[in-house]
Amino acid sequence: MRGGEPLRVAIAGSGPAAMFAADELLTVPGARVDVFERLTVPYGLARTGVAPDHPNTRRVADLFDRISAQDGFRLFHGVEVGRDVTHEELLEHHHAVIYAVGASSDRRLDVPGADLAGTATEFVAWYNGHPDHAHRTFDLSHRRAVIVGNGNVALDVARILASDPARLAGTDIAPAALDALRGSRIEEIVVAGRRGPAQSAFTVAELRGLLDTPGIDVAVEGADPAAEPDDASPPHSTVHKLRMLRELDGRAPSGNGNRRIVLRYLASPERITDEGVEFARTELVDGRAVPTGESEVVAAGLVLSSIGYRGRPVPGLPFDAATGTVPNLAGRVGTGEPVAGAYVAGWIKRGPTGFIGTNKSCARETVRTLVDDFNEHRLPAPPASPEALDRLLRSRREVPQPA
């Protein structure tokens, strides 16, 4: 509190970075935080981006519920900053605005026929019941699916496609998705990576979770996991990952009717057609995947890309198109003259890296910068009251009462 004046902050978005920032702000005596979420449900990817059979990860929503219950916290559903209320209008009611809007678009494949592929992000949103994707349909009629990219999201999608629907029925999976998966004819899911096993983007924990899932065979093809990684002193996690992959190398189907996930390495997509994916065979040269001149076609009905997220421009803020982030210094928007009252946290601040917990330290840095600016009187007092904000929003559209 600055001379008896309580700190008032608006946060755009309600995902992990937003909620951790709110929690940090509410340690300031008397602080008030208004969180604006464009959807009717909060918590972003913590709710709609986590696989339904990962209940421990999804329980972070319980923590966010506890944050939401603190004095001084208000959550507005169905309000999009930039559409329903502007940055300048928020500054009339708050000292500052933190944008924690994530990286809400997918990186797209740049190959002929890329428009024939969906994305793993869309598929995850579909089976989690995200309202923007509830209407989607995916072709599950072919015996094989291909996922381009081998990060954690790719393995999540492969595991859901290969899982027994009876097992998924006890989870929070969307009913429509469960019905579709019950009728799925997919028997094999190929998870393709351009480089070798040592460069796998998934974590050891994600791979272990896949191997521990009953009723799924997992095999490695296209590269020898026993080969030494390029780095003479690889991280312990890479050594552990290679040890696990070595045990899977060339493993044949179990023959008991299990669905099969194939981790295919040294395969770079060249073209997508109605029949499947044409891959160029690659080899590693100085850590880069270089085509060998050989290619193969993998027949598939469902093709999904899983090559990462990308931030979108935020109205009124500078944007670095190369990194998909808002330029900032320790969370304060701008690298020269700062944008008045504007801060960022999470993926829109640093890019789509790290895990849910990474956002905690990221948000803490932003909040410390903001509180320092508040204490140094660099943030003017808002002229309007919180009640005036309620009236403003109701005048624009039917906005639900804050939670």
Q: Which of 12-16, 147-151, 239-243, 370-374 has the lowest mean pLDDT?
A: 239-243
Consecutive H or E run containing 281: strand 276-285
Q: Which CATH superfamily is domain 106-305 in?
A: FAD/NAD(P)-binding domain (3.50.50.60)
Q: Over 60: is that where the pLDDT of 18 sits?
A: yes
Assigned token pair, 397: 């559209």
CA–CA dist 340, 343 (Å, integer): 9
Whole-Å CA distances, 289 to 223, 263, 283, 391? 13, 16, 5, 57
Comparing C-alpha atoms, which of 348, 364, 315 is closest to residue 86? 315
Consecutive H or E run containing 232: none
Q: Highest mean pLDDT range out of 100-109, 127-136, 171-180? A: 171-180
**CATH 3.50.50.60 boundaries in the chain:** 106-305
Report pLDDT digits (tens) over 19-51: 999 999 999 999 999 999 998 888 887 776 677
Tell me what pLDDT residue 14 has. Answer: 94
CA–CA dist 307, 301 (Å, integer): 19
Comparing C-alpha atoms, which of 154, 219, 226, 162 is closest to residue 196? 226
**CATH 3.40.50.720 boundaries in the chain:** 8-104+311-396
Do 108 and 153 touch, CB atoms closer than 8 A? no
Cβ within 8 Å of residue 358, ≥6 positions away: none
Comparing C-alpha atoms, which of 152, 86, 98, 175 is closest to residue 342? 98
Query: Which whole number is the average pLDDT over 338-349?
Result: 95
Is the domain covering 8-104+311-396 a CATH 3.30.590.20 domain? no
Other C-beta atoms lying within 10 Å of the C-beta of residue 16: 32
Do 309 and 121 touch, CB atoms closer than 8 A? yes
Query: Which whole number is the average pLDDT over 207-235?
Result: 83
Q: Over 60: is that where the pLDDT of 399 sits?
A: no
Quick one: pLDDT band at residue 390, thresholds 50, 70, 90?
confident
CA–CA dist 156, 169 (Å, integer): 16
CA–CA dist 378, 384 (Å, integer): 18
Do 345 and 15 touch, CB atoms closer than 8 A? no
What is the Cα gyration radius of the chain? 23
